Amino acid sequence: MAAILSRKFTVESDDSAGHVARAARRVIFNPDVLKSAKLCTGDIIALSNGDGAISRKDYAVGIAWPSLEMSQDSVFVPTSLRLTARLEIGDKVQIFPLSGPTFKPPPGLPSLRHLQEAGTIRLKEIPISLPSNHTSHTPEKKQRDWLTLLLRELLVDLNYITCTQILELTYEGRKRRFSVSSISTQQSERERHEDELTHDLESLSIASQSKLWVVGWDSTVLLSGTEAHERPPAHKQEIEILAPTSAKDAYSTVGGLNKQIQQIRDLLEIPLTRPELFRYFGWWGQGLKPPRGILLHGPPGTGKTHLARAIASSTKSSVLVINGPELSSAYHGETESKLRDVFREARDKSPCIVVLDEVDALVPRREEGAGGEVEKRVVATLLTILDGMEEGADEEGRVVVIGTTNRPNAIDPALRRPGRFDREIEVGVPDAEARFSILNVLLANTPNSISQDDLRAFSSRAHGYVGADLSAVVREAGTIAIKRWLASPEGQKDQSTSPAQLTLTLEDLVASMPAVRPSAMRSLFVETPPVRYSDIGGQALVIQKLREAVEWPLLHPEAFQRLGVRPPKGVLLYGPPGCSKTVLARACACESGVNFVAVKGPELLNKFVGESERAVREIFRKARVASPSIIFFDEIDALATSRSSSDGDTSSSHEGVLTSLLNEMDGVQELVGVTVVAATNRPDAIDSALMRPGRLDRILYVGPPDLDARVEIFKIRMKTMTVEPNMDIAELARLTDGCSGAEITALCQEAAILTMQEDINAPHVPQSAFVSAAKAMKRQITPAVLQKFRDWTERTQGRKV
């Protein structure tokens, strides 16, 4: 080490390496020189002019780098380091290692012990009188943005800078030079005040140390003269502090959560405002322990974070809001340190409420998942803090923790016990009354012409919509109202004044509902075209039975409660193919307005063990969350194959799915608000356990249409066709005896094709085309098929079809 301190090297410039990443910091020596000085590649060194005394301003910091092309008496110094150290090519330079374990830098040189991370770096340009014929056509703002990015990249390449650092780069064909005017750190107000006091004391010292800064990608670079136009990008605080407000103002933005608000206020306000009441009830000198933690859980969009913030700001206590992922760090022990600092600050500001948003990201389960040792240490740290907070609670240490998550089962179980998270409160999907309250809050400051009765009726139709969905509905309705007003004569002529006639109407809300799907159903939602019962002909009895099973529990719940009965849980539609079973289920969902989940039987089957059963459980879980809802199983015989009549391999592969289906429909957990509608053309293949009362209560036969039903189907289908004026529909109905509804629809399609074959410009479809298509139609429903359904019905239900 002493050998290199006594040597002086000749400076040579190495501008050719400027394009290499991180070459801006490399001071290149002969490898023998580094070996004799016991320096390694990448060691931090300082270089200063070797002709005079060391000055605080005449040094630069780089890293040692070997090269066989160098002589033992020369050193390559990058331009920025050479300018910073006030060196010219050919000058003598002296080298001082800074990263040695025992080396003490001489006065005037920085020490790595005082290394600080630069937060904001301000640069000012040094004019260079060099001729340039280059004219830039880039806008001035873009020039400044690109130049700032290039300077930031150069500073990151340098990594270590001083307060007198000089940078030189080529930008748009011209060399430009900048110097550092000031460097500051990203600190809190208290830490910044302490650093300013320390800096003032150091400035009074005779032998003060120079500062060395490290630059990373989180550092902000500003050019002098641009501060008035631009501000550095705002760094979101890890700890958000809410200002206290009155309870009335805080809760005015929360709708539909009165029960949860009252529960949390009972848990929070008394321990924070009157803690002596808990100490009054006690024995052996110890009082009752007040609750220290509350966990709010529920589906996304129900208002958990909003409720936590509203309750926190309504109290007269200090509030710290922490987002779980923002405390995470890649460095060992830093996340735990940040967590301890948060609760230390909470104790200093006692009484205090700490809101941990998305707590499942901070403390996941330790037994399973992809979490490693870091997550386990964070969980252990939070457990220790919560237990210590409970033991050290006194008059000056009242702290309550509120956690929010939509995945409560992903949190470590050790947190979910009394003494840590004492109470778990579910913020579920709002019912009709809660949706009405939410809509009143959302429309409180919006000009509208919606009466309270209309708003209540609208909220009763918005099944499964959470607070975030209703907010999106109101926003979409506002957009529709603005477009309507802009298209009106008032909107076209009135451009400057405020629109006095612009109001939100009930029609705008209704029109915006299809654009916003319920959050709980988005992964299962199937976009189906609107189908009405009036579009289906010849199934009046089946339609009436479906109305009784699905619509009556929604329209007349008091009748079921008064008579002491429960609505049917499931309906099975069976019959020959093409007889409107699937269309009936779609019409049922469209007419009733409930959430509709369409499940095709084979799509649930998975080759991995347990995945099919998990898919069944997930469908029923989401349907419960978004209740009232309909789960429609098309081709249910693919899932619920009879266990007695199947082969061994097939039965074993489907038995788990069937068992899950049976348990979900009528098991330990009651199925409330969910109606199961299933369709099949093979009822004999379905397991008998599925068709007992309590699961599929109503078994409805959907057979081929009779004469009157065929006449009705022809009339419905011909509404959208151009046909001969004096069409004899009764004759066509007699010709199509034994046809299903799907075959009649195909017949109408074939008649139109035959007409176009004869005359592509035909004005309408004549009677003769329908007759020809009917005579050529092949019946798929044979007497043998109908007899099979009659036999099965008589055998299972004891009645004739």
Per-residue HEC secondary structure of 715-729 comes to HHHHCCCCECCCCCH
pLDDT higher than threshold 70 for residue 155: yes
Helix (H) or strand (E) holding 461: helix 452-461
Write out the two tokens for 569: 């849980």
Q: Are 466 and 302 in contact (CB under 8 A)?
A: yes
Residues 59-65: what's their mean pLDDT?
A: 87
Condensed to tens digits (0 to 9), the pLDDT of residues 451-501 reads 888 888 888 888 778 888 898 899 998 888 888 888 877 766 656 556 667
Q: Three-state SS string across 391-408, please?
A: HCCCCCCCEEEEEEECCH
The pLDDT of residue 187: 56
Instruction: Please state whether the predicted TM-score (pTM) of the whole model is above 0.85.
Output: no
User: Cα 647 to the chain's mean position, in Å?
Assistant: 45
Which residue carries 């005359």 as its tokens? 759
pLDDT at 416: 85
pLDDT tens digits for range 309-350:
777 777 767 778 887 677 777 677 778 888 888 888 888 887
pLDDT of residue 389: 65
Region of poorest pLDDT, from 22-26, 435-439, 645-649, 721-725: 645-649
pLDDT in tens, 746-775: 888 888 999 998 888 888 888 888 888 888
Q: How far is CA 205 from CA 95, 98, 695, 750, in A?
A: 26, 22, 86, 101
What's the DSSP call for residue 30? -
Mean pLDDT of 366-371: 63
Greater model confidence, 650 or 423? 423
Quote the pLDDT of residue 386.
81
Contacts for 641 with CB less than 8 Å, ≥ 6 apart: 650, 651, 654, 658, 685, 686, 687
Q: How far apart are CA 758 and CA 565, in angstroms?
A: 61
Confidence tier at 646 by pLDDT (50, 70, 90): low
Residue 198: is its pLDDT beyond 70?
no
Two tokens, residue 460: 């009763």
Block residue for tokens 């049922």: 588
CA distance 559 to 548: 12
293-297 and 629-634 beta bridge pairing: unpaired
Using pLDDT thresholds of 50, 70 and 90, give the confidence band for residue 370: low
Q: Is the pLDDT of residue 210 over 70?
A: no
pLDDT of 391 above 70: no
Strands 399-405, 352-357: pairing is parallel
Q: What is the DSSP string of 286-313?
A: EEPPPP-EEEEE-STTSSHHHHHHHHHH
pLDDT band at residue 139 under the 50/70/90 scheme: low
In whole angstroms, give the CA distance from residue 734 to residue 425.
65
Residue 233 confidence (pLDDT): 45
- Identify which has the larger pLDDT, 491 or 687: 687
Q: Are 93 and 77 in contact (CB under 8 A)?
A: yes
Minimum mean pLDDT range among 142-146, 359-363, 381-385, 513-517: 142-146
The band of 798, judged by pLDDT with boundaries at 50, 70 and 90, is: low
DSSP, collapsed to helix, strand or coil, labels residue 46 as: strand
pLDDT at residue number 522: 65
Mean pLDDT across the chain, nearest whole number? 78
Return the pLDDT at 629: 82
Q: How far apart are CA 101 and CA 369, in angstroms?
A: 42
